[in-house]
Structure 1
Amino acid sequence: MSGGDTDPAEDEILVRAVGLTKIYPARADLPEFRAVDGIDLELRRGEAFGFLGPNGAGKSTTMRMIAATSPRSAGTLRVLGLDPDTHGSAIRARLGVVPQDDALDRELTVRENLYVYGRYFRLKRATIRVRSDELLDFAQLREKADSPVEALSGGMRRRLTIARSLINNPDMVLLDEPTTGLDPQARHVLWDRLYRLKQDGVTLLLTTHYMDEAEQLCDRLMVIDHGTIVAQGSPQELIRTHVTREVLELRFPLEIAEAAGAKLRDSPLGGDGSDIGARVEQLPDRVLVYAADGEAALADVHGMGLVPLTALVRRGTLEDVFLKLTGRSLID
């Protein structure tokens, strides 16, 4: 492993942040902006940890500070037991990073991209050859090894970017919005590759605004909005703590949608918002009724003389958690 002294007692804690803050100073045309506002975080070896939130919540900024590519404004931060301010290069040598943009050399072949990245870490040529063969199999790109990157699909390029991030056998892999822009099939293939890494004990730290991705991949989550933590825990804990077991989704004709939503909010189904019991949320395209029993809630809706165009009972999700905590959906 690369340089810097580490505390053996901290060996299982790969990231520790207390009051982590990032402030962009005011400019002539912009006021001061607090992108990350006092985050506390501990990430342990072997975990898959996710930052969940909408675009602009502060997820990527936090990742850049952890990756030792952006200095913090305040708070303490230790990554792999080291201070990024003084041991940035040592930290970066032990990380794998998957940025939002692939940043692959599209004129080179798949194998050549792995080779160039391996040389960046000063790995020996023989080591790169062995690692490249292993990673081509892992990424399911063996048949594309000698193809130029330009000829790959978007999903293949993302798998290559992840394979490239593993060339140096990193202690931890940072993935920033790993499946943004991919079609559903490509997303599921990528999830399978990441799940295999997780099963092999690789520590993952990822940002996403896809609640299904967070639920599939993450042992623990931190929900971030406007640079602050609004909730954290396992996906199951967050759902159990903040929303009901079932959610009734209703769509009404446009001409009565607002009135129907108001009637439901004023009914016993609307609750008082003080707990995770009955609650009604009106979104632009539908009304959500949170209840322990969705079918019983639908019967109550019909009993009020309301006839929705469509009605769907589903389980509570992380998106419902975010909607309750922030008043907006993950894709806003």
Structure 2
Amino acid sequence: MAKPRVILITGASSGIGKATALKLQAQGNIVYGAARRIEKMTDLAAAGVHVLKIDVTDEKTLIAAVETIQAEQQRLDVLINNAGYGSYGALEDVPLAEGEYQFKVNVFGVMRLTQLVLPIMRAQHRGRIINVSSIGGKIYQPLSAWYMGTKHAIEGMSDALRMEVAPFGIDVSIIEPGGIKTEWAGIAEKKLLAVSGETPYHEQAVKVGAMLSLFDQFASNPGVIAKLMVRAVNDVKPKTRYHAGMGAGLSLTGRKWLSDRQFDWAMTKAIDGAATLSRLEHHGQRAGKRHYRHN
């Protein structure tokens, strides 16, 4: 019988991270679920997941988590860097401090935790690092420069890292989710409208916000990405990239084959279409309410 893997996953308090932690735990692995909101992981603890409090922008918590796992298990087989958030808004409008924080969470926190676990994995002559990027690491949208900049950074740094650590028996894979029903879209929409909703970028902000608001209706379930995560953990020869979720295949294919200007046009049309659909649904809901009151 295969020895259970010791796995650390960040961003485990909700969405993709929580679903992944539960699936990996159910397979008999020794799973450490980490997040800032430890109170939201009581269900993970009940399922047998080891719960750790981590803030990826606070190095002390990262060091403490790695030391805890090393002391309790004497090894770490898999690191899944899943923590992150979306900060939308026009580049001109987003305060530099917010842009810096976006990179601290989505890039520097990921790479610092990776730095801390690499000595353990090198000593073992084996290990697996799985970084959660996004299709936003390959494509782009207006009003998303800071967020998609972080994901493009994760893509490039993960590729370089994969080559660096291959001689030590360590694999690096990237997960590229498309549209997924999580807290991410709501947070991104709220930040977008707060930052650029009353600026010269107002018209674009309304349209992009409408697109984000449709995620709850049309986006894929987090379990779709959790299955990919489990594959990335279990595949004997892991792929360098895995993608799934609403629009993932279409978006990545379009970016591969369309020129920059053609992709600009296609993305603009997609955003306009989402805004129109959202507006029609809003009018339909208002009409339904009026009909209900009339009756």
Task: Work out whether the TM-score is over 0.5.
Answer: no
Greater strand fraction, Structure 1 or Structure 2? 1
Greater helix fraction, Structure 1 or Structure 2? 2
